[in-house]
Amino acid sequence: MSRIIVAATPVSGHHGPLLRIASHLSGAGHQVVFLGGARFADEVRAAGPEFRPLPAEADYDDRDFAARFPERARIPAGPALQVWDVMHVFGDPTAAQCRALKDTLADFPATVVIHDNLFLGALALALGEEAATRPAVFSVGITPLIVESRDTAPPGSGLLPPADDAERERYAALAAHGEEQRKPLVDHLRECFAAAGATLPEGPLGRVFTEAADVFVQLTVPGFEYPRGDQPANIRFAGIIPIPAGDGREHPSWWPELLRAREQGRRIVVATQGTLANDDLSRLVVPALRALADRDDVLVVAATGRPDAAARVAATLPELPGNAVVAGFVPFADLLPYTDVLITNGGYGGTQAALAHGVPLVVAGASEDKPEVAARVEWTGTGVNLRTDTPTDEELRAAVATVLGNLAHRERAARLARQYADHDALATFDTLARTASTPAPAPDSAR
């Protein structure tokens, strides 16, 4: 068995998949230390691994970004905010993260470090130490694959792959312009890595971050990612981490209504804004409720992930449509098999969980990595990309009608679901951990 450190950025969407990996490895008999945000300590310990907190300069509560990053609110949404986040939310903690890893290794000599792809301290460890003197470093891609390529549009643009040579040339010009604009970001990250005792290599950032790891494990299937003729050799597609079951909790009080709707032949449409961008439900959930209010053949489940969901919806929509329920906690593992369409803001994990169940999508996302997720849904033909995070009622109504009325979306989602079923991400990490802890065979001269 292996000694493994699992390190996660203290953001829910990063922490969740890494904890499920850590819990699986711990249950498989490996010794696992989880390095993460202090607010997750009890959850980690309950899952099995030993917990160690990140140092204060690398820790924060993602439920209140303003407390740690007050200046972030002044950055306009879009590319400027993405750059700011990479510089400060993910870049600034690099040295403290790397130091925490080294401190942990001092009394827990692990053979493997597994980290989310934006826990840059682990990449600093990989770049700053000789491979023979450090643990194997496995980076986990919890966002769409960020690898610059001649076969794709510039990462973050939300554009589909080039259709011809003219579009390739246009994309190359966009990429060159983007590289020029990102020089302050690269300079900042060089300083962050230098403070951690590492040198950031030359080259496009996406490729540098990907190739710095010994193995880059992308949490998707090949069918949901653009093919690249120049893809780095260390990338491995592993499928997705299964979403947690209800853990024995009773189904919510509205569950019988869901079952009756299904028995009556009504369609189930689920609307969600994920677990982080769900403060303002008037951006997507409420418009979805309004847009479908006159469809008697549909039951709309507003899956908010918030205990105060009913009050927040009522503040904008005082009278709830008769064909809708508003939910806080939702057992998605139980709900998705009944779902005909998922309306989502484009969270990477939630989108793929739907596709793994063969559920087509309507995607309305324009922040963080969500345009890239939406573009992949469009490219795979598994749903409609609305190209905005504030869709109108009319846009949502038309998009849902398109997905429900076009069997091609469901057929393509079902085709992808078969790919997901053929992958076992947790088993992949177990195999990687065992392989990394196995000594290489001695050369013939030493036998």
- 92-142: pLDDT as tens digits: 999 999 999 999 999 999 999 999 999 999 999 999 999 999 999 999 999
CA 68 and chain centroid, separation = 22
Q: What is the pLDDT of residue 276?
A: 61
445 in any annotated domain = no
Q: Is it the case that residue 444 has pLDDT exceeding 60? A: no
Q: Is residue 246 included in any domain, yes or no? A: no
The yes-or-no verdict on residue 443 having pLDDT over 70 is no
d(CA 377, CA 250): 33
**Cα–Cα distance for residue pair 331/188, rounded to 1 Å:** 41
- pLDDT at residue 243, as a whole number: 82
pLDDT band at 441 (very low <50, low <70, confident <90, very high): very low
Same domain, 428 and 359: no
Mean pLDDT of 142-149: 95
Residue 197, token pair as written in the block: 């005792």
Q: Are residues 232 and 363 located together in one domain of the fold?
A: no
More confident residue, 367 or 160: 160
Alpha-carbon distance 41 to 35, whole Å?
Answer: 9
More confident residue, 274 or 403: 403
pLDDT of 306 reads 73
Helix 370-380 crosses helix 348-356 at what angle (to 10 degrees)? 20
Helical packing angle, 183-195 and 165-181, nearest 10°: 60
**In Å, how far are 97, 168, 313, 344 from 308, measured between CA atoms?**
34, 48, 9, 19
Any bridge partners for residue 302, and if so which?
A: 271, 326
Which residues, 6+ apart, have CB-to-CB distance to 386 below 8 Å? 362, 363, 364, 374, 395, 396, 399
Cα distance between residue 116 and residue 359, in whole Å: 26
> What domain count does the chain have?
2
Distance CA 389, CA 280 (A): 12
Q: Alpha-carbon torsion 356, 357, 359, 362, what sign?
A: negative
pLDDT bucket at 439, cuts 50 / 70 / 90 = very low
Q: Which amino acid is at 412?
A: R
Distance CA 389, CA 408 (A): 25
Residue 61, token pair as written in the block: 């509560």
Q: Is residue 248 part of a domain?
A: no
Residue 51 reports pLDDT greater than 80: yes
Q: Are residues 427 and 398 in the same domain?
A: no
Is 155 in the same domain as 225?
A: yes
Return the percentage of the chain with pLDDT > 70, whole number: 96
* Range of the structural domain that residue 96 is part of: 3-239+423-440
The chain-wide mean pLDDT, for the chain, equals 92
| pTM more than 0.75 | yes
Which range, of 75-84, 330-339, 349-358, averages the lowest pLDDT? 75-84
AA identity, residue 1: M
Instruction: Note the pLDDT tens digit of each residue in 275-302.
Output: 666 677 888 999 999 999 999 999 999 9
- Burial (0-12, 13-18, 19+ Cβ within 10 Å), 132: exposed
Q: Do residues 321 and 268 share a domain? A: yes
Question: In sequence order, which ranges of 135-242 are alpha helices (DSSP H)?
Answer: 165-181, 183-195, 205-212
Average pLDDT over residues 427-440: 82
pLDDT computed for residue 282 by the predictor: 81
Residue 440 predicted with pLDDT over 60: no
For the beta carbon of residue 169, count every other beta carbon within 10 angstroms: 11
CB of 363 closer than 8 Å to CB of 326? no
Least confident of 167-181, 189-203, 214-228, 391-405: 167-181
Does 104 share its domain with 232? yes
Question: Cβ(156)–Cβ(361) under 8 Å?
Answer: no
**Short-list 153, 119, 151, 155, CA closest to 137:** 119
Asked whether residue 41 is domain-assigned, the answer is yes
In this structure, the answer to whether residues 288 and 231 fall within a common structural domain is no
Lowest mean pLDDT among 59-73, 97-111, 398-412: 59-73
pLDDT of residue 314: 83
Query: Is the per-residue pLDDT at 16 higher than 80?
Result: yes
Whether pLDDT at 371 is above 60: yes
Residues 33 and 175 in one domain: yes
pLDDT of residue 392: 96
Q: Mean pLDDT over residues 365-384, rounded?
A: 94
139 and 42 part of one domain: yes
Asked if the structure places residue 122 within a domain, the reply is: yes
| Same domain, yes or no: 225 and 323 | no
Indicate the pLDDT class of residue 365, thresholds 50, 70 and 90: confident
Tokens of 415: 């085709």
Query: Is 93 a member of any domain?
Result: yes
- The backbone region for 313, taken as left when phi is positive above 0, alpha when psi lies in -120 to 50, beta otherwise, is alpha
Portion of the chain with pLDDT greater than 90, in percent: 80
Residue 59's pLDDT is what? 97
**Over residues 265-273, mean pLDDT:** 95
Other CB atoms within a 10 A radius of the CB of residue 308 amount to: 11
- What pLDDT score was predicted for residue 438? 56
**Residue 447 pLDDT level (bands cut at 50, 70, 90):** very low
Residues 428, 309 share a domain: no
Residue 250 included in any domain: no
Mean of pLDDT values over 312-325? 89
Query: Is residue 198 included in any domain, yes or no?
Result: yes
Considering the domain architecture, whether residues 413 and 432 belong to the same structural domain is answered as no
CATH of the domain at 126: 3.40.50.2000
